[in-house]
Structure 1
Amino acid sequence: METAQSYLESVKKQFLYYKMLGEKAIDQLEPQQLFVAINEDTNSIATIIKHISGNMLSRWTDFLTSDGEKEWRNRDAEFENDLQSKEEVLEVWNKGWNVFLETLNSLKPEQLSDIIYIRNEGHTVIEAINRQLAHYPYHVGQIVFYAKQLKNSEWNSLSIPKNKSGNYNAEKFAKEKEIKNFTDDELKRLK
């Protein structure tokens, strides 16, 4: 497989993995827990989701032809929660991810060196993807962390559970070596 195509396939899997981690964390929460903020300087999970979605809609709408910071985006408003229900939160989450994944899936390997702009700063398509590959998992990590805190002892681990690394490694090393993305098994495990 050509390097550019391999890169695209790899990042698609990684983004789907982080999307699923966020969803598995959200699924464990009671609706009202989505709106809990630890203090006034902290964002609730609902607010983080509103921000991620706003970023995705701005960055990935007309991705190759217009600046990624759209005039219609109101980033500051993303941090003011006006969502009322878990259904609304999930609708906002899915709207952002759908636009992002549709655009990502439409990209061709030969477009990876094209230049796009975010706030008038030029990025290759690879740089723009990598920028979001750091940004979205950062916020998904916040969601998982907050959800884990809110669920406390009722939390179902999304990774290797505490004191289970030995078992996990034994399973992995019992298999033949193969070349694949780490997310292949994780996406199956988390479904």
Structure 2
Amino acid sequence: MEIALELIDSLLVKFRSEKKWTLQAIEQLSEEDIVSSPTSESNSIANLIAHIRGAVHSRIETILLDIPDTRDREKEFEKGLAMSKEQAKTKAGDAFDILIRYLEHLRSAPELLMTQPFLHRPPLTYSQVNNETTALNLIVSMFREVHFHSGQIIYAAKIRKGQLSWNYD
């Protein structure tokens, strides 16, 4: 179980770091920056945050909190999706907090890493993993997904603002 705990601890550090940098980037943006898209074919920061939050809802909240999957993925990518800066910070923070809580849950019972949490649940929607996936595969997939979109958020913020300021504490 030592390697399982090392993996979980490593992922906790990574998700906490992603949360910090993503929220710092959002904090430096205006309301207009949140809903603006770099190009007509690009997603806005609002779209990316809605997508991260939707993925966390459908893949993690359903397991951790036994909340039915009510995700509307198409809405996450609507052009002109409205979202205030406060909503953006709240949605992003909530998504990271849920992921961190799930990892802390796994840390308290690392044997759960190899279980199949969706095996007896309705089919997963909009997911690259199927109902036979393990908790380990799910959390690794979530890290890839969140890291990818957090990077897009920070890049879009840099496009809007040029230089961003970072607090390394």
TM-score, normalisation: structure 2? 0.81
Q: Is the 8 A contact 1:54 1:78 kept in 2?
A: yes
Q: Equivalents in 1 of 2:59, 2:39: separation in Å? A: 29
Please identify runs of 4+ aligned residues in structure 1 that moved more than 4 A.
Answer: none
Q: Is the 8 A contact 1:50 1:92 kept in 2?
A: yes
TM-score, normalisation: structure 1? 0.73
Q: Equivalents in 2 of 1:155, 1:90: separation in Å? A: 16
Tell me the residue number matched to 1:79.
77
Letter in 1 for 2:100: L
Unaligned runs of 5+ in 1: 159-188
Query: Does 1:134 find its partner at 2:134?
Result: no
Q: Is the 8 A contact 1:34 1:46 kept in 2?
A: yes
1:129 shift after superposition: 0.9
Letter in 2 for 1:91: T
Tell me the residue number matched to 2:100.
101
Pair 84,138 (structure 1): closer, same or farther in 2 beyond 3 Å: closer
1:113 shift after superposition: 0.8
Q: Aligned pair count?
A: 157
Tell me the residue number matched to 2:37.
37
Unaligned runs of 5+ in 2: 119-123
Q: Equivalents in 2 of 1:71, 1:124: separation in Å? A: 18
1:82 shift after superposition: 4.0
Identity, in percent, stands at 28
Query: Does 1:144 find its partner at 2:154?
Result: yes
Tell me the residue number matched to 1:11.
11
Tell me the residue number matched to 1:92.
91
Tell me the residue number matched to 1:52.
52
Bigger strand fraction = 1
1:65 shift after superposition: 9.4
